[in-house]
Homo-oligomer: A and B are copies of this chain.
C-alpha cells in the first residue's frame, strides 16, 4: 500500500516512519521542499494550485490523507473524485470552518462554551454584551497555534478584534475560567470499528501546546463523556482515520473546544507509550486494516520543544526520554521537536518531565 499525505510537516514524517515497519509506503505532497518529512525523502514538492502535479502524485498512491487542516478543501475534494480520500473531505471542511464545527458539535449535544458568529462591529458588541465581558475571538477559517485569535477582557482588545473582521465573520466565544485543558484521540476504521486512546491533560502557553500527560486530568466520568463525544463525531462524519477533540474542564464540566481531523500533537506520547501509536492507527484505518490496541504501556507524557534548540546531550541522558527532532530551523514559537517520557510510576514520570524541562530553553 502507498499512502499519499497532503502536507509533509512533522506529522507527515511520523506517519512515514510508522508506515515503514508495517509495509506501508508514505509519500507527502508539500508546497515547500525543506519540510520535516523531506529529511526521510518522503516529499514531493509542488503548489496546491498545480492541479496536474497533485493529481499525478495522487494517482501513484492507493489512498490519500492529510496531516494539516488548512490544505485547500477544493483540492482534496478534487482528488476524492478518483482516489479514496480518508478522512472524507467533508470532515476537513467541517474542521476548517469554526462556525460549521460549532454547529456540528451543538447538534450532537456536545457541551460548548457559549459562542456567536459576528460579521460587523455591532454584532461583536452585541455578542460581548450577551456572553462577555471576557471572550476569545477567533477567525472563522484558518489559524493555528494561537494565531488568528485575540482575547477581549472587560472591553480591552476589542479594536484588535474589529481589525480582524472579514466577510466570513469571526467566532466569539465566552472565555471560560477553565481548570485545565484536555484532549481525546480516537480512530475509526473503514468497517466502523472505533478505538479510543486514554485522554491527556494538556498545558498550553501563548496558545501553543507545551506538554501532554496521558491518563491525567479528567475524572473517570469526564473521560467517559469525552469518549461519548468523540464517538458521536466519528459516527456523524462517517469518519475514517484518527481524529482529535480538544476539551476544557470547567468546574467538573466538560466542554468541547475544537476538532482536529488528523493525528494530533497531544497524541505523540502514543509512539512509545501505547500499544499502537496514533500514526500507525491512522494508517491502519485509512488502509482498511484492523485497528490496534490503544492501551497505555505505563505512565507517559510528551513535552514539546519550542522556539530554540534544546540541550540534546541532556535529553539523551534522561532515562525513559525519547527525543523526536523535526529537523527544522529554530524560530520563536516554532515546534522543533518533542520528547516522550515514560516511567514505571507517576512519581518518576514527574521527575523525568522536570529533567526534560531543564533541558529546554524556552
Contacts and interface: CB of A to CB of B under 8 A. Distances in A.
Chain A contact patch, size range = 20 to 34
B275 A327 contact: no
Contacts of A320: 275, 293, 295
Nearest to A342: B297
Contacts of A39: 20, 25
A290 to B, nearest CB: 5
Copies of the protein in its oligomer = 2
A232 interface: no
A290 B319 contact: no
A342 B17 contact: no
A13 B17 CA distance: 11
A323 interface: yes
B20 A342 contact: no
A292 B340 CA distance: 13
Interface in A25-43: 25, 39-41
Contacts of A325: 21-23
A107 B224 CA distance: 63
A319 B295 CA distance: 9
Nearest to A19: B40
A163 interface: no
A36 to B, nearest CB: 10
Contacts of A25: 39
A235 to B, nearest CB: 22
A23 B305 CA distance: 14
Nearest to A323: B22
Contacts of A322: 21, 275-276
Interface in A198-230: none
Interface in A310-328: 312-313, 316-317, 319-320, 322-325, 327
Contacts of A293: 319-320
Contacts of A342: 275, 297
Contacts of A284: 316
B275 A289 contact: no
B289 A316 contact: yes
A325 B21 CA distance: 5
B290 A317 contact: yes
A131 to B, nearest CB: 44
Contacts of A23: 312, 323, 325, 327
A17 B14 CA distance: 11
Contacts of A289: 312-313, 316
A298 B322 CA distance: 17
A284 B324 CA distance: 14
Contacts of A41: 40-41
A274 B284 CA distance: 24
Interface string A291-310: 01101011000000000000
A289 B297 CA distance: 27
Nearest to A23: B325
Interface of A: 13, 17, 20-23, 25, 39-41, 275-276, 284, 289-290, 292-293, 295, 297-298, 312-313, 316-317, 319-320, 322-325, 327, 342
Shortest 9 CB-CB contacts between residues of A and residues of B? A293-B319, A23-B325, A21-B324, A41-B41, A290-B317, A290-B316, A275-B320, A22-B323, A297-B297
